[in-house]
Amino acid sequence: MLAVQVRKPGPPATHELEEVPGLAVGPGQVLIDVKAATVNYPDLLVITGRYQSLPPLPFSPGTDAAGIVRAVGAGVNRVRVGDRVLIHVDAGAYAMEALAREDQCLPLPNDMGFVDAVALGLAAQTAWFALLERGRFEAGDVVLVNGASGAVGQAAVQIASALGGIVLAAASSLAKAQDLLQGTPCSFVDLSAPDLRNSLREQVMAATDGRGADVVIDTLGGDVFDASLRAVAWCGRIVTVGFAAGRIPEIKAGHLLVKNISASGLQWTDYRDRQSQRVARAHDALAMLWKRGALRPRVKTLPLRDFVEALRLIETRAASGRLVLTME
């Protein structure tokens, strides 16, 4: 079968699509014929050796894949041959075949295609858990989403809006964010405005009549995170999801104390590995939002052989919407 192979960490162009032996299914495992795989920002960190945990070499990158079950191993009871599934794995999605544990397999609605399924994979799950689990979101909350033009950011804006939130979509390129989020009820915050420390707070307070943000979903870190702390409402919650801006911020406890702010982080894969039932319930909820038309990220598809170009678009932030590799 064809699979992207990472034999040593390096930039995207140093890795190749190779012919490798087919995979054998083991006990508790499910083998799928992959039809589509998402390209996510963490994939870039993994192949360059910059992620906090790395698969053993050699490996195929990619954490989200959708396809058809070809075989199941001993002890697999829920998943059957021929099922259409979305899988969340640590690696292996950039390939014609992939293996997953049974609890990493989620069934697809009959009317959901493989490309739509993977586009709602890691990014939407991350946004859901950041909002509902870590951020304790409730209808009517003001939600500030930093990095709203990124994959997790777009999903967070659409989910929060669909569930009754008052959403502020923050991005450094407002034109891009406004284009990607057409049709989603939200206001916008300009992260490129001068004097970010003060301008972010001023924009949030102006948009909320001085209330501030009840929930902040931050994918950027750095100066944006620091400025966002000043825009959090009394008893607000700030959730850190990533550090795309580069700097990992530090929090002064006094800031949390004076406004009763809660700060938390999200490592979504821990929920996948420790509480797979909650991930399955989130998957069902996200599928319902998709059916309603409330969660529909823009998608660009590329063939698997163009994986280097897909990763380049992620690295240079030139991607407009979700990037999905197809195997046909």
- pLDDT per residue as tens digits for the range 245-270: 889 999 989 889 999 999 999 999 99
- pLDDT tens track for 158-168: 999 999 999 99
Q: What is the structure's pLDDT at 76? A: 96
Q: What is the structure's pLDDT at 328? A: 75
- Residue 311 · residue 288 · CB < 8 Å: no
Choose the CATH number for 123-268 among 3.40.50.970, 3.90.180.10, 3.90.1200.10, 3.40.50.11540: 3.90.180.10
pLDDT for residue 157 is more than 90: yes
| Domain coordinates in residue numbering, the chain | 2-120+297-326, 123-268
Rounded Cα–Cα distance for residues 160 and 39 (Å): 23
Which DSSP string corresponds to 249-280? Answer: P---HHHHHHTT-EEEE--HHHHHHH-HHHHH
Domain covering 2-120+297-326 assigned CATH 3.90.180.10 in the classification: yes
- pLDDT tens track for 191-249: 999 999 999 999 999 999 999 999 999 999 999 999 999 999 999 999 999 898 889 99
Q: Average model confidence (pLDDT) for the chain?
A: 95
Rounded Cα–Cα distance for residues 221 and 250 (Å): 9
pLDDT for residue 186 is more than 80: yes
Predicted confidence band at 51 (pLDDT cuts at 50, 70, 90)?
confident
Q: What is the structure's pLDDT at 319? A: 82
Strands 84-88 and 64-72: antiparallel
Q: What is the structure's pLDDT at 284? A: 96
Question: Chain centroid to CA 275: how far?
Answer: 18
- pLDDT tens track for 282-320: 999 999 999 999 998 889 999 999 999 999 998 888 887
Evaluate whether 2-120+297-326 and 123-268 have a shared fold.
yes
Q: What is the structure's pLDDT at 192? A: 96
What is the mean predicted confidence (pLDDT) over 51-74? Answer: 94
Q: What is the structure's pLDDT at 320? A: 77
**Entry pTM:** 0.93
What is the mean predicted confidence (pLDDT) over 124-148? Answer: 97
